[in-house]
Amino acid sequence: MCAAGIGGTFQYGYNLTIINAPTMHIQKFINQTWLERSGFQLDVQVLTLLWSIIVSVYPLGGLLGALLAGPMAIRLGRKKSLLFNNLFIILSAILCGFSRSAKSFEMIVLGRVLAGVNSGISMNIQPMYLGESAPKKQRGTVTMSSAAFTALGLVLGQIVGLREILGSEECWPFLLASNVVPGILQLLSLPFLPESPRYLLIDLKDNNSCICALQRLRGHSDLGTEMEEMLAEQEATRGQRPKGLCELIQEPTLRRQLLTIVVLSSAMQLCGNDSMYFYASSIFQEAGIPSEKIQYVVIGTGSCELITSITCTIFIDRLGRRALVMGGYSLMSVWAVVFMVALSQQGHVSWMPYLSMVCIFAYILSFGIGPAGVTGIMPGEIFDQMSRPAAYMICGSLIWIMLFVIGLAFPFILQGLGHFCFIPFLVVCVSTTLYVGLFLPETKGKSLLEITEEFTKKRATSKHIANGWSGPREIKST
C-alpha cells in the first residue's frame, strides 16, 4: 500500500497543493521574464489570461494521463505502469526546478502538463493494483487507502508550501520540483513487490507467477479459496480480450455499472468540495483570524479530510460502501444549506462568520467520509478484469473533465447566484444520494461474480417493471 501510494494518489494530492501554492511568485516571474524579453510589462488582463492558461493545463494533462492509464495497465501491467509513470514527474520537476535559471515560464507550463499526466495515470492504476492484490475481506480497506494517501499529500503539500519552508520568493522553484521526492521513493521500493496476481493469471495466463505473487503477498495463508475465485473469474472471461473504451460503452450488459461510475465520478467534482477551499481564506479572515495566520488554519482543512479518510479506511469493510457514500453526500447536503444561510446573514449577524467556518470544516469532513475514497474503488469492484482498465479510463477522464468544467463555471455561478451559489452543488449531492440508495448494490465482502449477479438482478427487475408482465401464471380452480 505504501509503495504504491507514495508515488500514486499521494503524488496527486501533493501535486494539487504545491502546483498553485507560489501563484504570486510565478506571476511576478512571468512579468519579469516578459519585461526582459520585450522591454515592456504585460497588461493585467493579458497576465490574468496567461495565468489562467497555465492553471488549466494541469487538468488537461490529467485527462491525457487518465486516457493513457488503460492501455498502459493492459500492456505493461499494473506495477510496471506505476514505475514508468515516475518518468513524467521527474521530467516535470527538472523543467519547473530550472525554469527560473533558464528564464522561461514556458518550462513551467510544460512541467505542469507532465505533472498532470503523472497524476492522471497514478489515480487510476494505483487503486486498480491494490484492489487486484488485496484479499476479498480487506479489499475495501486496502483500496480506500488511496483516499488517505491523497489527503496526506494535500496536507504535506500545504506544510511544505508555507512561507517559512519552500513558499518564499527565493525557494518557489524548489517547491515545484519537490514533487520528484515521492517518485524517487516509489522507484526505490515498488520493484521489490509482486505484480497484481489477477493480472498475471487472467491477462497473462501465467498460473505459476500468480501463485508466487500470492505467496509473497499472503505469506503462509491458505490460498485455495482465493485461487478458486480467481479461476472462476478466469473461466467467466475465457476467450475475451481486454475491452477498449468504445467497446465498454457499447456493451449492453455493463450499462448499469457504467452509469454508476459516471454518476459517482461526476459527483465527486461537482459536489462543491473544491469550492469550499475557494471560500476558506476569505471566511477565516471574516472570522477575525490575522491574514498571516490564515495559511496555518488552511492546513486544518486538509487535516480534516486526512482524518476522515483514515477513519473510513478502517471502517469501510464493516460499514460497507453504500452507507459511506450516502452518509457523506447526505451530510454535505445539510451543510450546504447551512453554509448558504450563514453566507447570506454574514453582514447582519456578528457570529455568522464562525458558523461559516464550521461549515467549511464540516463539509470537507463529510466529503472525506465516503465520496472521496469510495468513488475511486468502485470501478475495481463492479467491473471484471477485461473491463476494469477501460472503466478506470472513464472514471479518471470524468474526474478531470469535471474539475476543468467546475474551475471555469464556478466564477460565473458565484457571480450569478451570490450567497446561494451552492444550490447546484446541493442538487448534485441530493441526486447522488438518491441514486446510490436506489440502484447501487452493496459490494462489501463479495466476489466479482457475486457483484455482477447483483447488477444483473437489478437489471432484470427493471425490465420486469417496465414490461408490466411477469410471464405465464398457473391458474388454480375447483
| Residue range 235-276, pLDDT digits in tens | 888 888 888 888 888 988 888 899 999 999 999 889 988 777
Q: Count other Cβ atoms within 10 Å, centred on residue 455.
A: 19
With H, G, I as helix, E, B as strand and everything else as coil, classify residue 134: coil
pLDDT of 140 reads 81
With H, G, I as helix, E, B as strand and everything else as coil, classify residue 370: coil
pLDDT of 461 reads 56
The dihedral built from the CA positions of residue 369, 375, 381 and 385, taken in this order, carries a sign that is negative
Residue 447 to residues 77, 256, 314, Cα–Cα distance (Å): 22, 18, 20
pLDDT of 279 reads 66
| pTM score, whole prediction | 0.85
Residues of the chain with pLDDT under 70: 278-279, 281-283, 286-288, 458-478
Distance of CA 262 to the CA centre of its chain: 13
What would the grid cell of residue 332 be? Answer: 454535505
pLDDT of 137 reads 82
N-terminal to C-terminal alpha carbon distance within the chain: 68
The dihedral built from the CA positions of residue 82, 85, 87 and 93, taken in this order, carries a sign that is negative
Output DSSP code: residue 254. G
For each of the domains in the chain, give its residue range(s) and CATH number, in order of start. Answer: 1-221 (1.20.1250.20), 244-463 (1.20.1250.20)
